[in-house]
Structure 1
């Protein structure tokens, strides 16, 4: 068991998250979070839950002060589950939850009620999805005109909207003196698919695009959960911030905000024990189970040298 808590959970979340965002060492996230948790007198898994809850709270309510957060992190966890079922109801309960006017039992009952009644006609769902994609693409196009290539590190570059490509479909591209330098993909996320699968597919596309571009960018809507999942995958393959970059639209959709939050990486690695590079199979000759984890060929070569 962890030692007795010494500070408000949201204060701890802010302190630990700031250290994680600034971390540039070589140790794994698991080791880092365990070290920070021990320094604060908490169990590592509890701190990871606080980080997840704090990240969600910041996404839906904006940064708060500890005085404004009168509830426990378990209340925010329950609110996040409700948000996955009905975001409007969840948002309507944010302030009363923060004021500690909602018990955990209240939130559980509300969540269970919506879990039973959830369900939208497929055609309506698809229409809404298409509308969200079109609106996000429109807003991103407007912002990219304002941001220009300078934002992406190419002040002498030229922004091009590619309307057709057999390899990448529609996307934005920055070229310098006729040479492609950066690919910018606009993505929303498909609610009908698991985020893990969607993030893996986006990483595959980015890895393929890297063959032709120095930098690959994804721009998501403000508060995108898929951005967190892709950040975890990109972090796992040591691509985040090196050649693969993520951004979200600002709350007013007037600018692009670089995405650097590693909260999902902590949650997936520490609590779930997920390794996105893991593989499982059977040996053809013996039919015995086999498993492992992919490693970049360049790392293998470096070790041999």
Structure 2
């Protein structure tokens, strides 16, 4: 508490406590979360009374979100280590099956938590990297302090007091296909090119969306060989350091995608339509987002 009062961030305090216990930040955070759940369920619980692992308590907390009564009935047995983790996971699976709506809500909650966690890790990694990492030696990095109704960059890098790079931490989503998400991110990047020379997307791991976005940038602009303004990086949970998609890995993605994903004949994502009056067909080869080829520095 004293650390928060003195201006330290929660992440900094968590890291210090984890270091003292020789634990990873994420493991310590999970232990603390499990402890908070136990505190909410039982008063004055002693450490000696907890015979199970924090992973079992984590799973019980997930069960509680689907059925509080079920979790209460199992609490004492879990603490006494009388119920194994596989048994708890099977119980959780059964509850998800009978209550899909609650599971959907829980899934949204998990997505929000994952997103918040990724954004915190990105903030640490970006601060460690510094402005020079983003091509702005001697520049500055600003973090967004007021959320907007539109999609806006979480961080902005400036050079000579002018906006240079927009940084978007991104997790992805399960509600759309990876190609749809990749195109939406590319359109977002194109729409911000009038203000920022460089656009960055930082993911928590390499995903199909990540690869597809790289492929689109190769085909339509933004990759190292086609403008070098769209930059992709990974900031993993284990080690919050930015791992940038470099030239060679861009090339590997292009090679693999052309051969195995769509094939060279269909790699330009044509647009198809029909005349609304007489049905005449129309095909636009190489359909792409508007404004992606514009260079803000040439205006």
| Aligned residues of 2:270 and 2:287 also touching (Cα < 8 A) | no
Using the TM superposition, give the Cα deviation of residue 267 of structure 1 relative to its aligned residue in structure 2, in angstroms.
4.3
| Aligned residues of 1:281 and 1:290 also touching (Cα < 8 A) | yes
Corresponding position: 1:258 with 2:244: yes
1:275 paired residue among 263, 267, 275: 267
Using the TM superposition, give the Cα deviation of residue 283 of structure 1 relative to its aligned residue in structure 2, in angstroms.
2.9
SS where residue 205 of structure 1 aligns? Answer: helix
For each residue in 1:106-153, what CA deviation from the matched residue of structure 2 results, as whole angstroms up to 9, or x when unmatched?
xxxxxxxxxxxx976211211111111111001001111111111111
1:133 paired residue among 115, 119, 124: 115
Using the TM superposition, give the Cα deviation of residue 189 of structure 1 relative to its aligned residue in structure 2, in angstroms.
0.3
2:184 paired residue among 174, 187, 201: 201
Alpha-carbon separation, structure 2, partners of 1:238 and 1:249: 24
Aligned residues: 183
Change (3 A) 1:269 1:293: same
Q: For residue 208 of structure 2, what is the aligned residue in structure 1?
A: 225
SS where residue 172 of structure 2 aligns? Answer: coil
Using the TM superposition, give the Cα deviation of residue 264 of structure 1 relative to its aligned residue in structure 2, in angstroms.
4.5
Change (3 A) 1:209 1:161: same
For each residue in 1:5-42, what CA deviation from the matched residue of structure 2 results, as whole angstroms up to 9, or x when unmatched?
xxxxxxxxxxxxxxxxxxxxxxxxxxxxxxxxxxxxxx
**1:130-169 correspondence runs (5 A):** 130-163=112-145, 164-165=147-148, 168-169=151-152
| Aligned residues of 1:183 and 1:215 also touching (Cα < 8 A) | yes
* Runs of 5+ consecutive residues of structure 1 not aligned to the other structure: 1-117, 301-305
Alpha-carbon separation, structure 2, partners of 1:217 and 1:264: 18
TM-score (norm 1): 0.54
**Which has the higher relative contact order, 1 or 2, with Cα contacts under 8 A spaced 6 or more apart?**
1
| Aligned residues of 1:221 and 1:248 also touching (Cα < 8 A) | yes
Using the TM superposition, give the Cα deviation of residue 235 of structure 1 relative to its aligned residue in structure 2, in angstroms.
1.1
SS where residue 151 of structure 1 aligns? Answer: helix
| Aligned residues of 1:173 and 1:184 also touching (Cα < 8 A) | yes
Alpha-carbon separation, structure 2, partners of 1:264 and 1:191: 22
Using the TM superposition, give the Cα deviation of residue 295 of structure 1 relative to its aligned residue in structure 2, in angstroms.
6.2
Using the TM superposition, give the Cα deviation of residue 243 of structure 1 relative to its aligned residue in structure 2, in angstroms.
0.8
